[in-house]
Every structure is written in C-alpha cells, then in structure tokens.
Amino acid sequence: MTTKAIEQRRTMLNKVPEVTVYFWVIKVLCTTVGESFADYVNETLGFGLGNTTLVFSLALVLVLVVQFRLKQYVPSVYWLAVVLISVVGTLLTDNLTDGIGIPLWVSSAVFAVALAAVFSVWYVREQTLSIHSIVTTPREAFYWLTVLVTFALGTAVGDWTLELTGWSAGASVLLPLALIAGVFAAWKLGAGPVLCFWLAYILTRPLGANIGDFLASSRDEGGAGLGTLGTSILFLSTILVVVVHLSVTHKDRTERAAIRSRELDAVGHHEF
C-alpha cells in the first residue's frame, strides 16, 4: 500500500469530527447539559451525589465501549459520549467540593496538574496532540481521558471564578466568552492550532455551565427561569437536531474536509 493510500485510510478512520462551527455549538450545548442535567438528577429528583455519579459513570462506560468498537466517527455515538462525559466531569468536581469539602482552588490545581500529565504522556508516546490523528486505540484513549479532565477542570475553574467574583449568572458568561474570543484572535494571528484548540475546549466548559446557570436560575436571581429540567430538555433537543443533521449531511466528516482541502490546494487557496 502506498504512503498516499495509507494516509487516506487513516483520514477515513479518524474517530472524531472535523472542528467546524457545528463542533463548537454542540460542545457548548453538551457542557450546559452537563451542568443542568447533573443538578436536576442529583437535587431535583433526589438521587443524591453518589448515586447520580454511579449511574452516569456506568452509562458513560457502556457508550465508550461502543465508541471504541467503531471503526470510524459516528455522530450519534460520539456526541452521546460527550454529553455523558460532560455530566461525569461535572460530578467529579461536585464530589470533591460538595462531597468531601475540598476547596475549589485545590480542585482546579489538581485537575490542571492531571491535564498536564495526560498531555505529557500522550505527547511522549504519540508525538502529537492533534485531534485529527485519532486513528489508533491508544490515541483515542488519551483523547477521551483528556476530554474528561477538561470538563472537570472547566467546572472547577468556572465555579471558583464565580466564588471569587460573586457575579450573577448573566454576567458570569462574559469572562469565558471574552477569553475564547482572545484564543480565537491568537489562532488567527498564527498561534499554534493544537494549543488554541485545547484552550478553547477547556474554556467552553465554564461558558456552557454559566449559560446553563443563567437559563436555569429564577428571574428573581437574574436568570431566565427555565429551571434545570427545562434547560436540559431545550439543549438536549437542540443537540439531537444538530446531530441528526450532521448524520444526514456528513458535514463534519474529516474525510470530507480533507477532500475540500485538496480541492482548495489545487486552485491555490488555503483554509484556516
């Protein structure tokens, strides 16, 4: 098999979607669901923190087993895994903070060190941190472990920021939004795309969580008054619609993006 054929096969078997607007929209929606749905099951339904963590952790393991057995990216399975991992990541921080009483700044530091450790081992082993190279089982394992830690870290840092500032739910959306805009500007100015991607990925966690808090909070607290159930239903429904759209159109397939890139190269144009 020629080198070109091997590279094409690797692209076709990439297990994650192309990073498009759809990717970031669903990512933020999943993040919001992680915050609101975990709170609804834990507090409103009265499952308790421990039982809620156990149920969602088992569900995540089952979905990841299916995800790992697949040979290519399947939107429904991939994004279900992200929804569940967003809930579990939120619960990890909640267990440390509410269950054990560990301060948020300690949780933030622990998860930051954990993320640095995962990145270090991943890079030493694979020589890349790019999500466009998730074509082997070890890389996929590193990828999902990184996603889990980023959700936990984003939750801890986001809650810690609110604790320090005392901002309302609406105002708290502005800080992560401004930081993401800064990362986007840095990427446009030539900063490393892999670094910018993971920074944005971490920052979308507090952004989505703060959006969820704003929508779920009562109007007396400056929120939209949808409640945790209403917010969860709204965002889960939106995720379903977008995922169905992507499943039909294949707009976020990496092989489709690769073909598009080659077409642009042929006529002397390049996409960022």
CB under 8 Å to 57, separation ≥6 — which residues? Answer: 88, 91
8 A C-beta contact, residue 93 and residue 107: yes
Q: Is residue 166 part of a domain?
A: yes
Q: Is residue 62 part of a domain?
A: yes
Q: Which of 114, 119, 120 shows the shortest CA–CA distance to 197?
A: 119
Top-confidence residue, 109 or 218: 109
Q: Which of 235, 252, 270, 3 shows the shortest CA–CA distance to 131?
A: 252
Domain count across the chain: 1
Top-confidence residue, 189 or 228: 189
3-state secondary structure 50-105: HHHHHHHHHHHHHHHHHHHHCCCCCHHHHHHHHHHHHHHHHHHHHHHHHHCCCCHH
Give buried/exposed letters for 181-211 (b at 16+ CB in 10 A, else e): eebeeebeeeeeeeebbbbbbbbbbbbbbbb
Q: Is residue 139 part of a domain?
A: yes
Q: Please tell me the distance from the alpha carbon of residue 128 to that of residue 146, in angstroms, as a whole number.
A: 13
Residue 168 CB burial class (10 angstroms; 0-12, 13-18, ≥19): middle
Mean pLDDT of the region 136-157:
91
The pLDDT-based confidence of 261 (bands split at 50, 70, 90) is very low
Q: Is residue 174 part of a domain?
A: yes
Q: Which two tokens stand for residue 32?
A: 């919001």
Report CA-CA distances (Å) from 164 to 157, 161, 175, 249.
10, 5, 13, 44
CB under 8 Å to 104, separation ≥6 — which residues? Answer: 93, 97, 156, 159, 160, 163
The whole domain housing 230 covers 3-10+19-266
Would the pLDDT of 81 be above 80?
yes
For 15-43, what is each residue's pLDDT tens digit? 888 888 999 999 988 888 877 787 788 77
Q: Is residue 114 part of a domain?
A: yes
Q: Which of 208, 206, 211, 247 shows the shortest CA–CA distance to 78?
A: 247
Q: Is residue 272 part of a domain?
A: no
pLDDT score for 13 = 53
Q: Please tell me the distance from the alpha carbon of residue 154 to that of residue 228, in angstroms, as a whole number.
A: 19
Would the pLDDT of 46 be above 50?
yes
Half-sphere CA count of 218, side-chain side, radius 13 A: 2
For 191-210, what is each residue's pLDDT tens digit? 999 999 999 998 888 888 78
For 213-228, what is each residue's pLDDT tens digit? 788 777 877 677 888 8
Number of H helices, E strands in the chain: 10, 0
Q: Is residue 134 part of a domain?
A: yes
Q: Is residue 113 part of a domain?
A: yes
pLDDT score for 271 = 39
